[in-house]
Structure 1
Amino acid sequence: MIISSGRSRIRSTVVVLAAAALAVGGAVSVVAESTTAEAAAGDIVLAASTVEDEGADCPVSPPGSLPTGSRLPDPFRKFDGTRITSKADWRCRRAETRELAERYVYGDKPAKPATVTGTVSSSNITVNVSQNGRSASFSAGVQLPSGTGPFPAVIVLGGFGADTATIRSAGAAVISYDPLAVGREGTPRNNKQGAFYSIYGNTSSTGLLMAWAWGVSRIIDVIQQSGGNVLRMDVGVTGCSRYGKGAFTAGVFDQRVALTMPIESGSAGVPAFRAIAGESGAQPLSSAYGEQPWLGDAFSSYTGNPNGLPVDTHQMVGMVAPRGLFIMENPHVDWLASRSGSVAALGGAEIYKALGAGENISYWSDVQDGTHCASRTEWRTPLQQNIQKFLLKTGNAAGVFRISSRKAGNLAEWRDWTTPTLADGPTTPPTTPPTSGPTTPPATPPTVAPTTTPPAGGAGCTASVTTNQWTGGFVATVRVTAGSSAVSGWTVALTLPAGSSVTNSWNVNRSGTSGAVQFSNVGYNGSIAAGQSTEFGFQGSGTGSGLSPTCTAR
């Protein structure tokens, strides 16, 4: 059953990380100071991406046997059994986690369809998608705040989420998204309905939560393509109850979402699968799976055996890192499994901490009103602070964990792994073509041998490019090398051949998609020691021949 009532409202603030063991009496309140490692991480603190999935190029091949057990899986242990050692390693470890989450929990989230078009106005967003001869459309309402745009925006699922009046008064627009238009409830698993299933088939094994998340991504596509006259690419997402499950899934699987705010999401949302079975009164996994086709079809094998899952929701919490995440829960309604929610949040906070972004996650279940999806005064100020920090970029409020003593989880009971100290430093992404994205390379090796363009000089740094070409597309790997002195930031400029365009990029910020394109460092790869190198990559359509990058140091 779904608990319904009350108005949806609430939420959010960004921020902090958490202690493993919790006190028994009173609310647990932990406010963390920025550590030296976090301060050194610099720009990683507010790092939302310009692409849906930064790890699309990572080689992901799960072994035949994956670790399982009653404890939460080690989020830092790779498929090959080794643990990551640097912050740069997280990108492809996150891709491994994504693979497990899709395969065992939610179902597949397809890459951006071949065609996504639409419009953005001061009152409405239209979305039109087509793929393999199938088309679908849906729309969302827009309410702007006062003032002069363009504005950041919060996508509110189903009318139940953070308080829209507070969102607008803080300076962000509200996008009212009806997820049921994309994935309809009340349908059997073998006859799913809605825009997603019109494209990918009504027998798709992908559950409604992932379909709803796909719809959020298509709204973001349209905003991204609109030119930023009305809305800009600083986007948050929120929802309560079933829509809290959907908001959480949307933030997990789209790295362009700068601020994720799930409210009282319950089973199939934030709460750890392994912990739910032992939490008195919590909605059982079998009930959540059977109530609606929210979860992917494959999850049916684990409703009575969550210990057999090679992944759990603390890892999904970590997939949001280092972006803003504010989890709000209600400890007064047992069905909502908020003790298990605190376990997942504490486990995910360890990933934030390892990445130097501990101040970007908040958790708050210490509330007085027990009404489901009520408007809560406790969350109003944190909501404003999160919007200011992650969407307006005008605030720097520290995060906080406020865990109710009624439903306080203890992470120490659920893990047998430790949190590593991850090194800063450049990353070297794989040069294999991405396995998903707007253009998918063929499985066979490129028919044209890789070519390398010699470094072209710039002020303090040089850049060289290696391309793997196939019919209709290519992948380019660009190596940036510091000269005789260290650099603290860099920009690489290149001109694409006529008819070619960039469709995806990783480990870099990008300006432009065709003709003259500029790439600049992200937070964790801007500093390069003298004579040392870092790499970024991009995927393109057309030809990648004749590229001649130039590098300028900052």
Structure 2
Amino acid sequence: MKSLSVVLWTLAGFVAAQEVSPTPTTCTVDTNATYPKSPKLPDPFLLADGKRLATKDEWACKRAEIRDQIQRYELGPKPPKPTVSATASSGKITIVSSEGGKSMSFAVSIKLPSGTGPFPAVIAYEGTSIPVPAGVATITYPNHEVAADDPRGKGKFYDLYGSTHTAGGLIAWAWGVSRVIDALEQLGPESTKIDVKRLAVTGCSRNGKGALIASAFDDRIALAIPQEGGSGGPGCWRIVADIKKNGTKTEDATQIVNGDSWFATAFSTYAPDTTVLPYDHHMLMALVAPRGLLVIENSGIDYLGPISTYGCSVGAHMVYESLGVKDNFGVSQASHGNSHCSMPSSQNPEVAAFFNKFLLGQADVATEVIKTDGKFTWFAGQWIDWAVQTLS
């Protein structure tokens, strides 16, 4: 009999009742491991000890390693689940989190479709700018109440854990999404009319970064649709640094750590030379596998780093393919100038397909898409010196 900690695979993605699947007892995450600098995107199929992955079960070990690395180097730690209580009333859920003698609360609003439910739902960072199909509820999440962009250490997360907590805003927002899911589980569909096994998360710009990170750090989310997240989201640090060096006006790690407090203060040590990182964001996106992930980007805004988000997504798709679920990943880039967070209708079919497959139960919908209209040339060999693996 296999360990209960082993990843469970289905056509639609991950079957989980836990925030994060526990690390198998056969895995050891070496927090003292050192890594050589790598100008290329790091190999997602190598463990810190040099062992190459051979099975899907071993991917659980690599996921634990990547999650540890991203928290240590970039995001800061996501605290474990506190004591959570929740109440539902008049289209609103109020969530109270308690830890160490302190408590804080925030509320989300729910817009339900007509009918009796229970309904699938999308948790939308401060509302959604993507089309939500009929039959899917929208839960509006006030992430900036949980953690402010600026100054650092402000917001209800820090009221609970202290203003000097080392988590940046993005992982604090992810922590808040997990508390929303806790509340939905606790209240049940009788009170909320929400099917907690069919949840998506979305957001645009900084909130797109947030939606991706929330999904990477909570296995209960069936589908992630980050929109125009750019650098710090689906963009790879190494690629965006290279295109900025070549004159493109884009946001790189050095700039981003000197702006809003989305990242841990520790990241400022690594931002000037991200080749020292043992991961990049192709591996952040791979943490969502085998669940659904659709990356929506605007190829017409240089600041978002279109080459970076496209190339990084190609790397993530290779992991999905190695895990036997390449249809569960998509990237769609469409140019619509400087109209940030205003998605063109040409991307609607991809969004609808992913909702249909992962939230509405239409398993035969085609969802594999790798598409860009960007005016650039992508040379995979410049960044990727590893190949799709056959994992048993």
Alpha-carbon shift at residue 412 of structure 1 (Å): 2.1
Confirm or deny: 8 A CA contact 2:306 2:374 kept in the other structure. Answer: no
Alpha-carbon shift at residue 240 of structure 1 (Å): 0.5
Alpha-carbon shift at residue 105 of structure 1 (Å): 1.1
Q: What does residue 171 of structure 2 align with?
A: 210
The C-alpha deviation readout for 1:27-79, integer Å capped at 9, x for no partner, is: xxxxxxxxxxxxxx972543242211113455322343123310111111112
Alpha-carbon shift at residue 111 of structure 1 (Å): 1.1
Q: What does residue 489 of structure 1 align with?
A: none
Confirm or deny: 8 A CA contact 1:266 1:338 kept in the other structure. Answer: yes
- Secondary structure at the residue paired with 2:104? strand
Q: What does residue 262 of structure 1 align with?
A: 226
The C-alpha deviation readout for 1:526-554, integer Å capped at 9, x for no partner, is: xxxxxxxxxxxxxxxxxxxxxxxxxxxxx
Cα distance in structure 2, aligned partners of 1:90 and 1:42: 12
- Residues 1:241 and 2:210 are matched in the alignment: no
Alpha-carbon shift at residue 158 of structure 1 (Å): 1.8
Cα distance in structure 1, aligned partners of 2:308 and 2:129: 22
Confirm or deny: 8 A CA contact 1:117 1:128 kept in the other structure. Answer: yes
- The TM-score, its normalising length taken from structure 2, stands at 0.92
Aligned 1:515-530 pairs, distance under 5 A: none
Q: What does residue 74 of structure 1 align with?
A: 43
Confirm or deny: 8 A CA contact 1:170 1:387 kept in the other structure. Answer: no
- Residues 1:231 and 2:194 are matched in the alignment: yes
Confirm or deny: 8 A CA contact 1:340 1:409 kept in the other structure. Answer: no
- Residues 1:274 and 2:243 are matched in the alignment: no
Q: For structure 2, which runs of at least 5 residues remain unmatched after alignment? A: 1-7
Match of 2:385 among 416, 419, 434: 416
Distance 1:409 1:170, change over 3 A: farther
Q: What does residue 216 of structure 2 align with?
A: 252
Cα distance in structure 1, aligned partners of 2:15 and 2:228: 24
Q: For structure 1, which runs of at least 5 residues remain unmatched after alignment? A: 1-40, 424-554
Q: Quick one: which amino acid aligns to residue 93 of structure 1? A: K
Q: Tell me which moved more, 55-64 or 138-147.
A: 55-64
- Residues 1:193 and 2:162 are matched in the alignment: no
Identity of paired residues, percent? 37
Confirm or deny: 8 A CA contact 1:363 1:401 kept in the other structure. Answer: yes
Cα distance in structure 2, aligned partners of 1:135 and 1:56: 29
Match of 1:131 among 60, 75, 99: 99
Q: Answer with 1 or 2: which has the greater Rg.
A: 1
Alpha-carbon shift at residue 268 of structure 1 (Å): 1.4
Q: What does residue 184 of structure 1 align with?
A: 148
Distance 1:133 1:42, change over 3 A: closer
Distance 1:269 1:307, change over 3 A: same
- Residues 1:55 and 2:5 are matched in the alignment: no
The C-alpha deviation readout for 1:425-454, integer Å capped at 9, x for no partner, is: xxxxxxxxxxxxxxxxxxxxxxxxxxxxxx
The C-alpha deviation readout for 1:187-222, integer Å capped at 9, x for no partner, is: 14xxx1112111221111110000001000000011
Match of 2:319 among 335, 351, 367: 351
Q: Quick one: which amino acid aligns to residue 195 of structure 2? A: R
- Residues 1:106 and 2:83 are matched in the alignment: no
Alpha-carbon shift at residue 422 of structure 1 (Å): 0.4
Cα distance in structure 2, aligned partners of 1:240 and 1:138: 21
Q: Quick one: which amino acid aligns to residue 385 of structure 2? A: D
- Residues 1:43 and 2:28 are matched in the alignment: no
Confirm or deny: 8 A CA contact 1:68 1:309 kept in the other structure. Answer: yes
Cα distance in structure 1, aligned partners of 2:346 and 2:174: 28
Confirm or deny: 8 A CA contact 1:136 1:198 kept in the other structure. Answer: yes
Confirm or deny: 8 A CA contact 2:149 2:260 kept in the other structure. Answer: yes
- Secondary structure at the residue paired with 1:287? helix
- Secondary structure at the residue paired with 1:82? coil
Match of 2:255 among 263, 273, 287: 287
Q: What does residue 118 of structure 2 align with?
A: 150
Q: Quick one: which amino acid aligns to residue 325 of structure 1? A: L
Cα distance in structure 1, aligned partners of 2:184 and 2:99: 20
Cα distance in structure 2, aligned partners of 1:334 and 1:108: 31
Alpha-carbon shift at residue 381 of structure 1 (Å): 2.2
Match of 1:379 among 347, 372, 386: 347
Distance 1:145 1:247, change over 3 A: same
Q: Quick one: which amino acid aligns to residue 233 of structure 2? A: G
Aligned 1:340-489 pairs, distance under 5 A: 340-368=308-336, 370-398=338-366, 399-423=368-392
Confirm or deny: 8 A CA contact 1:212 1:250 kept in the other structure. Answer: yes
Confirm or deny: 8 A CA contact 2:298 2:335 kept in the other structure. Answer: yes
- Secondary structure at the residue paired with 2:266? helix
The C-alpha deviation readout for 1:118-166, integer Å capped at 9, x for no partner, is: 124561111110111111100111100122211111011023x343xx3
Alpha-carbon shift at residue 238 of structure 1 (Å): 0.4
Match of 1:172 among 136, 148, 155: 136
Confirm or deny: 8 A CA contact 1:331 1:407 kept in the other structure. Answer: no
- Residues 1:314 and 2:282 are matched in the alignment: yes
The C-alpha deviation readout for 1:357-398, integer Å capped at 9, x for no partner, is: 000001000344541111320122222221121112134322
Confirm or deny: 8 A CA contact 1:197 1:204 kept in the other structure. Answer: yes
Q: Quick one: which amino acid aligns to residue 365 of structure 1? A: Q
- Residues 1:141 and 2:109 are matched in the alignment: yes
Alpha-carbon shift at residue 170 of structure 1 (Å): 3.0
Cα distance in structure 2, aligned partners of 1:140 and 1:408: 43
Alpha-carbon shift at residue 291 of structure 1 (Å): 1.2
- Residues 1:329 and 2:297 are matched in the alignment: yes
Confirm or deny: 8 A CA contact 2:108 2:139 kept in the other structure. Answer: yes
- Secondary structure at the residue paired with 1:239? strand
Q: Quick one: which amino acid aligns to residue 50 of structure 1? A: A
- Secondary structure at the residue paired with 1:304? helix
Alpha-carbon shift at residue 311 of structure 1 (Å): 1.2
Indicate the RMSD between aligned Cα atoms, in angstroms: 1.7
- The TM-score, its normalising length taken from structure 1, stands at 0.65
Give the number of aligned pairs.
375
